[in-house]
Structure 1
Amino acid sequence: MTNQAPEPIIFGERPLSIEEVLALSNRQRPTALQSDKDYRQRIAKGAQFLDSLLDKEGVIYGVTTGYGDSCVVAVPLQHVEALPRHLYTFHGCGLGKLLDAQATRAVLAARLRSLCHGVSGVRVELLERLQAFLDHDILPLIPEEGSVGASGDLTPLSYVAATLSGERDVMFNGERRPSADVHRQLGWDPLVLRPKEALALMNGTAVMTGLACLAFARADYLLKLATRITALNVVALQGNPEHFDERLFAAKPHPGQMQVAAWLRKDLAIDAPTAPLHRLQDRYSLRCAPHVLGVLADSLNWLRGFIEIELNSANDNPIIDAEAERVLHGGHFYGGHIAFAMDSLKNLVANVADLLDRQLALLVDERYNHGLPSNLSGAAADRAMINHGFKAVQIGTSAWTAEALKNTMPASVFSRSTECHNQDKVSMGTIAARDAIRVLELTEQVAAAALIAANQGVWLRSRDTEARPLPPVLAAMHAQLREDFPPVIEDRALEGELRLCLKRIADQHWRLHA
């Protein structure tokens, strides 16, 4: 029986989900453009309406005027065709690291989805070329720094506009190449952007929104992984599973908090007979784990709403209403919702880092780990004095946690007036999204260390002849983990294993809670 090819994701009138952006970013599904005649005629009508206004010498921002503060400068009709190229050219000043391939695909998907609304005044040919870039995996090389998040992501998106026009560089088949060369190889003519098309490509929130989609998906998996790590640590520390009793959480019924507690009950098989308890109440990093992780669980629902509404919006300026023959000048390029969502997410995720860091601190400390060896070392007694187990890993975890916490300062409150005080209140949404990605990177490092250490703690506890058998879910996870991360008996450098664990997290390798 042959595997069926995955269904293409259709760009057109239908909305796009975060999960579909993630699938496109990981090259798991192909793309297609809505092909029915009515839809394509509706897209074309916007560009035709703009052309008719040019024939009448109408005043349209960014088409017959300069950009931003220069909107008061009239552009004679003989120069209108040159204006789009000037826009992406003078914005070619991005700095910093380049967006990686996954992020770049998310950006292309977000920009294409926005333009598919048919109110941006672009041709069908532009949508087709953007879709072809996704389909052929032609990735503009986009510097990640230089956007204040209103008028949208102008500078980073200029690299999309320029490469569609056969300028600047792209990644294609694993090589950095001039966009013009790739166009020639594929037999394409580079686009000559029409009036409004460069502005439509650049004057929007696609970079921050694409990054937000990826950040959301990572945070969602991290929530489930942190719950599983907590369950392993309850076993390793001989914690009290009654802290997660269903009746207890019915008294304070935040849905996400209740969900995390339910996941912990399932992992720990809480209905089974329990071993004698070391204490009535565990320390907060175990006892309050549902309360910490539950805030993230509850927040993901409204974060999804913010992100998916932005993803499925027309967010450039001006909006072209070809049906009513109106040009609507506004500020949909302002990324305030994404800025707030990402500022919130980095706070939520950093709290996960802090929780797991505290659990690891209990695990390695003989005063609090209920009989486990110091620093989780598995060395025999006659070699214990020269082995240090997870001592340095715990120090590193503390460093990563501190950096994650430091990066929770909200970006959106650092609005700065720019561009001759035309852009005098800006969102900083792209900086917030980049911050959120960085906090996620650091927290995933904490999670990798905490997971390997928790697994070591479970292994050490299992050597006790009186230890209870592991609950089925945790037994399966423990067996999986031991395939990649054997017990630390004699000291060894753990960098390679930590990096492997990070790759497993990035690939969402372990099947966790539904």
Structure 2
Amino acid sequence: MTAVLETGLSQPAQTAKPVISFGKGRISIEQINAIAGQAAPVGLSDDAHFAEKINAGVAFLDKLLQEDGVIYGVTTGYGDSVTVKVPLSQVYELPIHLTRFHGCGLGEHFTPEQGRAILATRLCSLSQGYSGVSFELLNLLVAFLNHDIVPCIPQEGSVGASGDLTPLSYVAAALIGERDVFHQGQIRPAAEVMAAYGLNPVTLRPKEGLAIMNGTAVMTALACQAYQRAEYLTRMSSRITALASLALQGNSHHFDDILFSVKPHQGQNEVAGWIRHDLNHYEHPRNSSRLQDRYSIRCAPHIIGVLRDALPWFKQTIENELNSANDNPIIDGIGEHVLHGGHFYGGHIAMVMDTMKTAVANLADLHDRQMALLMDTKFNNGLPSNLSAATPERRYINHGFKAVQIGCSAWTAEALKLTMPASVFSRSTECHNQDKVSMGTIAARDCLRVLQLTEQVVAASLLAVQQGVQLRIARGELCFSSLTAELQQMLHSLQQQHAQISEDRPLEAELRLLVTQLQQQHWPLYQENTDAQR
């Protein structure tokens, strides 16, 4: 049966755009995300050395099979069944069984965008040339991406070592024409969609089922998407803090460049520079009625800066995993080595995701505290209760952002609850063969959930701080012309979409729109000419 997705129609890949080539040179997080967002088609390198590695791996495996060599997962069973010798007459059936018995994933499906990231990430690993796969398989992965044929992959069922076996079995199954795929806004049988494009299901060669499944592609693909969202949140959190400082009539000297020069964390200083720029500190330095603002304003660069300073390590680690051969065994066709190891172990991604989700949740907590200051007349320096812009005679029944702040507390609490590291919950499984596992995929899924919750808090905070600033301007307590051009433009844009809340109205639709805009990075923030570059 054909099911129509609520997400709408997927658009075909645009072949006029520059092709991202796999097989020569490193692939970046940004390239994986571009492929996931259908912003670029893909292809394979025409580099001669790349072709030599791929062809040598296939030829070497064929040679070993002729010599009756013992290769894990090729002539043996899987996992604890490594001691089971598979008759050569059944070697070509073994990969199909691998894909089928792992077809037990549960939970929601990854979105088509996430599925494209997973396909591209697995293609990157296989294109390293150490997995013993054929060009036929690589070319089919390329065709899936360029025709937007995305396997329906359940989110649950991976312990992150021996790789993302169960979710990646849905990739392998689709390539052999089994199970379902997302295509043009519908869920359809893989074989049916492939036939429409003249694509033949691949016959998996020995090792190819294992090569597709026994790796870290799911967790790494999710990490690529998480990185992009976390990076943008450091920028938006800085912008919101600046607006909150303006709304609260805070002290801009808290972000002074001399002050931050004596604590030289690069990311922290970058954040302080962004906030200082937004506050127009050099042209219009502002002193608060308090000598020192509360921590959620004064220490914001130190809080946001933790995540900002961790981003280079996150990026390096994610991209190292992305550009690695992370299945088992490793096939060195040119040197004629079969190397049995554990490169499917997702410990590095697990650590990045556990660390990232903690730093991101701290941003939710930061903005939840800023919201509390803005709502409360004991702390907001003369702003109306709950930031309501109601007229004096209507103030009795209007409640402004009261419920939104309650929502922020709920979203923040859930985000903070999810910061328990998944990587410490290793479970011995599969007859104690997989007796220490990474839980990297669960960590990545947790991180994406924390990002979603934090983006909800940030969206609510953005709506609130712009109202606070507008109230100050309307009361003559802040001069609009004293604001930077970037702030003026953003405030004008927000006010066009979100009228001032003078009479209570449902805000769900507006909050959902803001969350979507955050995830699409709708607002360009902090270009090279900002004060942060001084």
TM-score by length of structure 1 reads: 0.98
Pick the aligned partner of 2:442 from 431, 445, 462.
Answer: 431
Describe the shift of the 1:410–1:456 C-alpha distance in structure 2 as closer, same or farther (beyond 3 A).
Answer: same
Equivalent position of 2:518 in the other structure = 505
Equivalent position of 1:377 in the other structure = 388
Q: Are 1:15 and 2:34 counterparts?
A: no
Task: Quote how far apart the aligned CAs of 1:17 are.
Answer: 0.5
Task: Quote how far apart the aligned CAs of 1:44 are.
Answer: 1.4
Distance 1:429 1:444 in 2: 22
Equivalent position of 1:285 in the other structure = 296
Equivalent position of 2:531 in the other structure = none
Equivalent position of 1:468 in the other structure = 479
Distance 2:84 2:291 in 1: 74
Describe the shift of the 1:328–1:479 C-alpha distance in structure 2 as closer, same or farther (beyond 3 A).
Answer: same
Distance 1:140 1:115 in 2: 18
Q: Are 1:306 and 2:294 counterparts?
A: no
Pick the aligned partner of 1:92 from 88, 91, 103.
Answer: 103
Distance 2:436 2:286 in 1: 59
**Partner AA of 1:471 in structure 2:** L
Q: Are 1:213 and 2:205 counterparts?
A: no
Q: How many residues align?
A: 512
**Partner AA of 1:504 in structure 2:** Q
**Partner AA of 2:483 in structure 1:** P
Pick the aligned partner of 1:173 from 181, 184, 187.
Answer: 184
Q: How does 1:37-436 map onto structure 2 within 5 Å?
A: 37-436=48-447
**Partner AA of 1:412 in structure 2:** S
Distance 1:36 1:281 in 2: 61
1:68-90 Cα shifts (integer Å, max 9, x gaps): 00000000000001000000000
CA contact (8 A) 2:53 2:130 kept: no
**Partner AA of 1:392 in structure 2:** A
SS in 2 for 1:149: coil
**Partner AA of 2:239 in structure 1:** R
Q: How does 1:435-446 map onto structure 2 within 5 Å?
A: 435-446=446-457
Distance 2:526 2:165 in 1: 39
Task: Quote how far apart the aligned CAs of 1:186 are.
Answer: 1.2
Task: Quote how far apart the aligned CAs of 1:466 are.
Answer: 4.1
Distance 1:432 1:254 in 2: 27
CA contact (8 A) 1:203 1:317 kept: yes
CA contact (8 A) 1:31 1:134 kept: yes
1:455-478 Cα shifts (integer Å, max 9, x gaps): 110111111224233412222211
CA contact (8 A) 1:153 1:207 kept: yes
CA contact (8 A) 2:23 2:124 kept: yes
Distance 1:400 1:48 in 2: 55
SS in 2 for 1:385: coil
Q: Are 1:24 and 2:29 counterparts?
A: no
**Partner AA of 1:91 in structure 2:** H
Instruction: Return 274-283 or 34-43, whichever deviates more.
Output: 34-43
Task: Quote how far apart the aligned CAs of 1:150 are.
Answer: 0.3
**Partner AA of 1:250 in structure 2:** S
Distance 1:276 1:435 in 2: 41
Task: Quote how far apart the aligned CAs of 1:102 are.
Answer: 1.3
CA contact (8 A) 2:72 2:78 kept: yes
Describe the shift of the 1:275–1:340 C-alpha distance in structure 2 as closer, same or farther (beyond 3 A).
Answer: closer
Task: Quote how far apart the aligned CAs of 1:287 are.
Answer: 0.1
Distance 1:307 1:70 in 2: 31
Pick the aligned partner of 1:483 from 483, 496, 500.
Answer: 496
Distance 1:4 1:404 in 2: 40
Task: Quote how far apart the aligned CAs of 1:326 are.
Answer: 1.1
TM-score by length of structure 2 reads: 0.95
Equivalent position of 2:10 in the other structure = none
Q: Which runs of 5+ in 1 are unaligned?
A: none
CA contact (8 A) 1:285 1:355 kept: yes
Distance 2:402 2:250 in 1: 22
CA contact (8 A) 1:204 1:316 kept: yes
Percent identical across equivalent pairs? 60
SS in 2 for 1:10: strand
Q: Which runs of 5+ in 2 are unaligned?
A: 1-13, 528-534
SS in 1 for 2:270: helix
Distance 2:47 2:350 in 1: 36
CA contact (8 A) 1:223 1:296 kept: yes
**Partner AA of 1:360 in structure 2:** M
SS in 2 for 1:371: coil
Task: Quote how far apart the aligned CAs of 1:252 are.
Answer: 0.8
1:221-267 Cα shifts (integer Å, max 9, x gaps): 01100100001001000000000000001111111110000101111
Pick the aligned partner of 2:505 from 468, 492, 504.
Answer: 492
Task: Quote how far apart the aligned CAs of 1:6 are.
Answer: 2.6
Describe the shift of the 1:466–1:167 C-alpha distance in structure 2 as closer, same or farther (beyond 3 A).
Answer: closer
1:450-504 Cα shifts (integer Å, max 9, x gaps): 0000011011111122423341222221111111111101000000100010111
SS in 1 for 2:182: strand
SS in 2 for 1:327: strand
**Partner AA of 1:511 in structure 2:** P
CA contact (8 A) 1:275 1:468 kept: no
Describe the shift of the 1:111–1:275 C-alpha distance in structure 2 as closer, same or farther (beyond 3 A).
Answer: closer
Distance 1:507 1:213 in 2: 15
